[in-house]
Chains A and B, each alone.
Chain A
Amino acid sequence: MKSQVVSPASKVYVRQEAAPVLPPPGSLIGPLAWVRDNLFSSPGNILLTVVAAALAYISIPGFLNFLFFDAVWSGADREACIAKNGILPGACWAFVRDRFSFFIYGFYPVDERWRVDLFFVLGTIGVAWMLWLKAPRRDIGMIYFLIVLPVVSYYLLGGASWLGLPAVDTARWGGLMVTLVVAGVGIVASLPLGILLALGRRSRLPVVKFFSVLFIEFVRGVPLITVLFMANTMLPLFLPDNITVDKLLRALVGIGLFASAYMAEVVRAGLQALPKGQYEGAMAMGLGYWQMMRLIILPQALKVTIPNIVNTYIGLFKDTSLLLIVGIFDFLKAIETARIDPQWAAPTTSPTGYAFAAIVYFMFCYGMASYARAMERRLSVADKR
């Protein structure tokens, strides 16, 4: 018997090197595949795409034409913005350019407006110092923002005879400056007040708890406008009649108290999110109540709740617009006053004024919201370890 020994290598194909990695089929990658996946994956999806595209086609070019392409950018008065040859131009930006300083400063005396500019610069420094987490000496920044800045701003804007700054009555303050002052005071005042109220609500002392709950639930149950009415009409009644309270100050009290009630609930949520072991650990270390809160509880509770605090600030910033109802000359009031000025009476003046107001409010609020989102991401990274 003859048997042939065959070496397997000669008959069977054995691949010696790895096959090259092929790119995925053309139908799965590239812009075409993306379009198919995201826009035309099913009949229902195709319908949605068509409807959405139609909606975008109707609205977006109209917006862009109004805001940019057909807009009037320069001019001295309404002549620039009224219809020519029966065609109405787009947004009347010439009006905004003409009234820009009125929107920012209101009736603040022209010669003294550098003080407002300086206030804006100082405020920007303070905000940047607080928000930029890697900034040097943030402890000094804290003191600067919470103590130095309010005091300096008070004398800078209101006037100080011992510095040679003539007094400017708050009735002449106006525009974006008032909005920022009110929002700033609300932001600085509502956090400490809110923390105190939140601690009060979680206190085991029944009287403290009762008053905190009463205040928080009362304020949260009524509209801001009634609180402002109350501050405006009832505060002067409650004080002895030899004390007159500035109108702006009354509104500040109203807004500050309102914001602190909402802040209290946000801080309380942060306090509740902390595990009980943190409290027990702090007590076991022999810390007293205030030491425990200052060193152990609040730093952690406030950290997790920063996004919500910022959201409360966004609400506060938007709420400052309600001041126009109680007769404070804020940014929106400046727009409202300017848009009915006969010098600029044109069909597009009001929409342009509102568009400008919307852009300014949007920039501030969206900025804060983006910061809150970035913060949330940062915190969730820390939690994932």
Chain B
Amino acid sequence: MSSVDAPKAGGTGGDDKPHVAFWNDPEKRGYLFQALLFVVVMFLFYTAADNAISNLTKQKIATGFGFWNNTAGFDIGQRLIPYETTSSYGRAFWVGLFNTLLVAGVGIVLATILGFIIGVARLSKNFLVNKLAAIYVEVIRNTPLLLQLLFWYNAVLKALPEVRDSVNMPGGFFLNNRGLFMPEPVFGANFSWVTWTLAAGLMGYFAYGRWARLRQERSGQQSPVLLVGIGLILLLPLLVYFVAGQPLSFNIPDLGRFNIRGGVQIFPEFVALLLGLVIYTAAFIAEVVRAGIQAVSKGQTEAAYALGLRPGPTLDLVVIPQAMRVIIPPLTSQYLNLTKNSSLAVAIGYPDLVQVFAGTVLNQTGQAVEVIAITMAVYLTISLVTSLVMNWYNSRKALVER
């Protein structure tokens, strides 16, 4: 046993190691401390669980997940899957979850677009554009999202006219305080041809894009990816649509005195939540984008100009790919924030997961522990999956260092 590794060998030391009291030995002290922490945490958990069980039996509240199949007995306005008042709590859970995913998905797409526009505007040399973007970002970021949601819902959308005074918009659109009514598409028998063509067009576009990228890496020659994309994704399905005999018609909403029949209704709760989330998150995404573009050093742009690239390709091929590396990680957390913030739906009555499940179902069953646990597990899963996907994308885009 050599004396060299004596300091870190800890307890295995032989005669040459000085005797140290165990409370002065960092390693033993570490074990003691960890054991203590473990015991304390376990004790807290045990006490909480014990109290919870005794409290629940005293209040005669059922435990377990048996309530999942019980009849819910309440109605949900907006649903993506069939749901009746006689459906089960489990069904209500899925309705809420799909509503959350719907508003989060649409919100993420729109917030990204708006955020990138504002972020670029914030960097514009144009004084007016720059200042307008700055005012937008400062005002939106420094007021609570909940306030903005309440404003959109109560002050803007609830102030729209009654049904009989609906705003008539061309093409069969009606706007009133019950939402936006749109023509409902009715798909004919041959419409599947168009769908299949579109799918084939998309696949063809991606294949072509990959081929074009490889060709550019090999030979430096660029291909008209955008034109081919428009042809494959837009023109080809359009052609098939006309060949198939225009298998699409619209069911135009019919404005009655007190109600509107037919068509698709977009609820004001959904619009308010979407508006609030998109406008709020876009301000944060704009700052992320701005920081990302500013992180690309000016020398990169200058070098691209020196090589004879025009401003467009410089942005496309040099600045944006490098900026994306800086942008993606904080952008991911903004996406997660948007998803988590969609739970504020409960304040304006949009039937999302929290409103339906952690709200109505919790109040009806009283099974707080199970309901909250399920709700939290869902959000944790969404967070985890999003992080995994974005980390994978990020690792693909990350700088390959030597």
Bound: A224/B379 CA distance, A:
11
Chain B residues engaging chain A, CB cutoff 8 angstroms: 26, 30, 33-35, 37-38, 41, 47-49, 51-52, 54-56, 58, 124-129, 132, 138-139, 141-147, 150-151, 154-155, 159, 340-341, 343-344, 346-347, 354, 358, 362, 368-369, 372, 375-376, 379-380, 383-384
Bound: A289/B30 CA distance, A:
12
A354-B51 in contact (CB<8A): no
Given contacts A207-B37, A233-B372, A362-B139, contact A221 B379 (CB under 8 A): yes
Which residue of chain B has the shortest Cβ distance to A319 in the bound complex? Answer: B144
Main secondary structure of the interface of B (DSSP, over half): helix
Complex interface: chain B residues within 8 A of A362 (CB) = 139, 142-143
Complex interface: chain B residues within 8 A of A22 (CB) = none
A38-B376 in contact (CB<8A): no
Verify if A48 is at the interface (C-beta below 8 Å from B): yes
Given contacts A48-B124, A207-B37, A237-B51, contact A321 B147 (CB under 8 A): yes
A234-B51 in contact (CB<8A): no
Verify if A45 is at the interface (C-beta below 8 Å from B): yes
Select which of A241, A339, A361 is within 8 A of B144 by beta carbon.
A361
B143-A361 in contact (CB<8A): yes
Complex interface: chain A residues within 8 A of B144 (CB) = 318-319, 321, 332, 361
Select which of B47, B147, B346, B379 is within 8 A of A358 by beta carbon.
B147
A52-B132 in contact (CB<8A): yes
Chain A interface size range = 35 or more
A49-B343 in contact (CB<8A): no
B125-A205 in contact (CB<8A): no
Complex interface: chain B residues within 8 A of A49 (CB) = 126, 128-129
A226-B128 in contact (CB<8A): no
Top 8 closest pairs, chain A to chain B, by CB:
A365-B142, A238-B48, A207-B34, A233-B368, A223-B340, A221-B383, A223-B343, A318-B144
B145-A318 in contact (CB<8A): yes
B30-A205 in contact (CB<8A): yes
Bound: A55/B132 CA distance, A:
9
B147-A357 in contact (CB<8A): yes
Interface residues of A in 311-359 (CB under 8 A from B): 314, 318-319, 321-322, 324-325, 332, 336, 339, 347, 350-351, 354, 357-358
Verify if A222 is at the interface (C-beta below 8 Å from B): yes
A322-B143 in contact (CB<8A): no
Complex interface: chain A residues within 8 A of B369 (CB) = 234, 237
A366-B142 in contact (CB<8A): yes
Which residue of chain B has the shortest Cβ distance to A358 in the bound complex? Answer: B143
Given contacts A233-B362, A354-B150, contact A208 B34 (CB under 8 A): yes
**Shortest CB–CB separation between residue A4 and chain B, in angstroms?**
55
Bound: A324/B344 CA distance, A:
11
Bound: A357/B144 CA distance, A:
9
Given contacts A225-B354, A358-B143, A365-B142, contact A238 B343 (CB under 8 A): no
Bound: A19/B190 CA distance, A:
85
Complex interface: chain A residues within 8 A of B380 (CB) = 218, 221-222
B128-A207 in contact (CB<8A): no
**Shortest CB–CB separation between residue A273 and chain B, in angstroms?**
16
Bound: A17/B375 CA distance, A:
84
Chain A residues engaging chain B, CB cutoff 8 angstroms: 37-39, 41, 45, 48-49, 52-53, 55-56, 204-208, 211, 218, 220-226, 229-230, 233-234, 236-241, 289, 314, 318-319, 321-322, 324-325, 332, 336, 339, 347, 350-351, 354, 357-358, 361-362, 365-366, 369
Complex interface: chain B residues within 8 A of A339 (CB) = 154
A332-B146 in contact (CB<8A): yes
Complex interface: chain B residues within 8 A of A237 (CB) = 51-52, 55-56, 368-369
**Shortest CB–CB separation between residue A227 and chain B, in angstroms?**
8
Given contacts A237-B55, A366-B138, contact A52 B129 (CB under 8 A): yes
Given contacts A39-B127, A52-B129, A361-B147, contact A225 B344 (CB under 8 A): yes
Complex interface: chain B residues within 8 A of A45 (CB) = 125-126
Complex interface: chain B residues within 8 A of A39 (CB) = 126-128
Select which of A53, A354, A361 is within 8 A of B142 by beta carbon.
A361
Given contacts A211-B37, A241-B55, A322-B344, contact A38 B372 (CB under 8 A): no
Complex interface: chain A residues within 8 A of B127 (CB) = 38-39
**Shortest CB–CB separation between residue A384 and chain B, in angstroms?**
17
Bound: A366/B135 CA distance, A:
12
Select which of A37, A322, A369 is within 8 A of B146 by beta carbon.
A322
Known pairs A39-B126, A206-B34, A225-B354; list 20 more (Cβ under 8 Å).
A38-B127, A48-B128, A55-B132, A204-B30, A205-B34, A222-B340, A222-B383, A229-B375, A239-B51, A241-B51, A319-B144, A324-B146, A347-B159, A351-B151, A354-B150, A354-B155, A357-B147, A358-B147, A361-B143, A362-B142
Bound: A362/B138 CA distance, A:
9
B51-A238 in contact (CB<8A): yes
**Shortest CB–CB separation between residue B79 and chain A, in angstroms?**
22
Bound: A56/B127 CA distance, A:
13
Complex interface: chain B residues within 8 A of A239 (CB) = 51
Given contacts A39-B128, A52-B128, A222-B380, contact A240 B343 (CB under 8 A): no
A241-B146 in contact (CB<8A): no
Bound: A198/B346 CA distance, A:
32
**Shortest CB–CB separation between residue A331 and chain B, in angstroms?**
10
Which residue of chain A has the shortest Cβ distance to B340 in the bound complex? Answer: A223
Complex interface: chain A residues within 8 A of B150 (CB) = 332, 336, 354
